[in-house]
Amino acid sequence: MKTANQETLYGKNPQQLAALCLEEGLPRFAAGQIARWLYKRHTEDPAQMTDLPAAVRTRLAQRFTAALSAPVRVSESADGTRKYLFRTRAGHPIESAYIPEAERATLCVSSQAGCRMGCRFCATGRQGLQQSLPAEEILNQIVSLPERDRLTNLVFMGMGEPLDNTDEVLRSLEILTAEWGFGWSPKRITVSTAGVVPQLRRLLDATKVHLAVSLHNPFPEERAAIMPVERAWPVAEVVRVLREYDFTHQRRVSFEYIVLSGLNDTPRHVRELCRLLNGIPCRINLIRFHRIPESPYFSPPDEEMIRFRDALTARGIQTTIRASRGEDIQAACGLLSTQEKARQ
């Protein structure tokens, strides 16, 4: 009987597949054959891998369980955004948001079920961490998406802190961008982090994907009040690391900034943001706050968002207001899965 802990073929990289081939008495090149079935054809059933010996296919089918599964629920917004609920093999609900635009179709994927970062404005943070997703369950959100073939961009901005699950996130990025894998350009992918400094260099050294840093307040004590991660890894230290890397050519860095009325949108915040980020070629993305139940925070009126944007732009920081999408279907991170957990 297959269990949630049983190993899967999907999610393995060539080194792991080569080790498997050695165990099975297959030539090393068979690892490439298996990788093509998995990541070019998205076929994980060993019985269909017809260029492998029949006896090996039988053993693989007995040894490995399926990794790919369709979403269990979908909500669609009036603006076309779709929020998909997947369930991990351990039974935890996770979310992905499909965001279609004129020339783009972006998928926001989760790297964990829940999160232990505890950000005060985030519904996912209220859940705590239930599970860090293995690479195959990260990739399943892409492969099993009904709109898979329309995707142009991928953002690791769903549930969880990607750099709290670095090994599996890096393996999923390797599969996504490698020639033997999905073959995506790293320029199509952005990874968001609250600033787990020990793992940040690993990501920047191992990949060429774009980076988004969850900033939300430039003052340490004020940031710590809404983002406990500040006490472990101050944003000033994150910025020092970023200064060691080139963000002028192949990849970009942006700073995500949820605007909370009266708390982080004053002239002194403008001045401190400019001081903190001085000299870093970057963009600040201002984000309207999607209310979560019993939250004390509010998004400011549009005119205040525009004023804040213009003040930053006038000081030389490229600043945009991100279009608010899917609010009518609880598209803010963690709301749908929190609702599902309550329903269960």
The domain of 49 spans 14-63
Distances (CA, A) of 101 to 79, 98, 153: 9, 10, 11
Do 32 and 108 sit in the same domain of this protein? no
In a domain, 115, yes or no: yes
The active-site residue, picked from 108, 122, 282, 333, is 333
Q: How confident is the model at residue 137 (pLDDT cuts 50, 70, 90)?
A: very high
Q: pLDDT tens digits for 185-224?
A: 999 999 999 999 999 999 999 999 999 999 999 999 999 9
Q: Are strands 283-288 and 318-321 parallel, antiparallel or unpaired?
A: parallel
Q: Is the pLDDT of residue 14 over 80?
A: yes
In a domain, 6, yes or no: no
Q: Which CATH number fits the domain that encloses residue 35?
A: 1.10.150.530
Q: Mean pLDDT score of the chain, rounded to an integer? A: 93
Instruction: Look at residue 337 in the predicted model and tell me its pLDDT.
Output: 57
Beta-bridge partner residues of 211:
191, 253
Q: Is the pLDDT of residue 11 over 90?
A: yes
In a domain, 24, yes or no: yes
Least Cα distance to 174 among 160, 158, 189, 195 occurs for 189
Would you call 253 helix, strand, or coil by DSSP? strand
Q: How many structural domains comprise the chain?
A: 2
Do 44 and 170 sit in the same domain of this protein? no
In a domain, 78, yes or no: yes
Distance CA 137, CA 248 (A): 33
Q: Is the pLDDT of residue 5 over 70?
A: no
Do 93 and 111 sit in the same domain of this protein? yes
Q: pLDDT tens digits for 74-106?
A: 999 989 999 999 999 999 999 999 999 989 999
In a domain, 159, yes or no: yes
Do 53 and 168 sit in the same domain of this protein? no
Do 55 and 88 sit in the same domain of this protein? no
Residue 339 sits at φ, ψ, to 5 deg, of -60, -40
Q: Is the pLDDT of residue 249 over 70?
A: yes
95 has catalytic annotation: yes
Instruction: Look at residue 139 in the predicted model and tell me its pLDDT.
Output: 98
Q: How confident is the model at residue 291 (pLDDT cuts 50, 70, 90)?
A: confident
Do 185 and 124 sit in the same domain of this protein? yes
The active-site residue, picked from 95, 161, 168, 230, is 95
Do 19 and 148 sit in the same domain of this protein? no
Q: Is the pLDDT of residue 232 over 50?
A: yes
The mean pLDDT value for 136-146 works out to 98
In a domain, 302, yes or no: yes
Residue at which a domain ends, from 42, 63, 84: 63
Q: Is the pLDDT of residue 3 over 60?
A: no
Do 29 and 157 sit in the same domain of this protein? no
Q: Is the pLDDT of residue 123 over 60?
A: yes
The mean pLDDT value for 1-10 works out to 73
In a domain, 221, yes or no: yes
Q: How confident is the model at residue 293 (pLDDT cuts 50, 70, 90)?
A: confident
Do 289 and 193 sit in the same domain of this protein? yes
Do 115 and 249 sit in the same domain of this protein? yes
Q: Which has the minimum average pLDDT: 115-124, 222-231, 286-295?
A: 286-295
Do 297 and 329 sit in the same domain of this protein? yes
Distance CA 232, CA 236 (A): 12
State the distance between the two ends of the chain, measured CA to CA, in whole angstroms: 25
Would you say 79 and 326 are in contact if contact means Cβ atoms under 8 Å apart? yes
In a domain, 3, yes or no: no
Do 230 and 201 sit in the same domain of this protein? yes
Instruction: Look at residue 250 in the predicted model and tell me its pLDDT.
Output: 87
Tokens of 337: 């899965």
137 has catalytic annotation: no
Tokens of 246: 């080139």
Would you say 33 and 49 are in contact if contact means Cβ atoms under 8 Å apart? yes
Q: pLDDT tens digits for 311-344?
A: 999 999 999 999 877 666 555 565 665 665 556 5
Q: What is the DSSP string of 137-198?
A: HHHHHHHT-TTGGG--EEEE-SSS-GGGSHHHHHHHHHHHHSTTTT---GGGEEEEES--HH
Q: Which CATH number fits the domain that encloses residue 255?
A: 3.20.20.70
Q: Which has the minimum average pLDDT: 176-185, 231-240, 325-334?
A: 325-334
Q: Is the pLDDT of residue 2 over 50?
A: no
Q: How confident is the model at residue 117 (pLDDT cuts 50, 70, 90)?
A: very high
Instruction: Look at residue 1 in the predicted model and tell me its pLDDT.
Output: 42
Residue at which a domain ends, from 29, 44, 63: 63
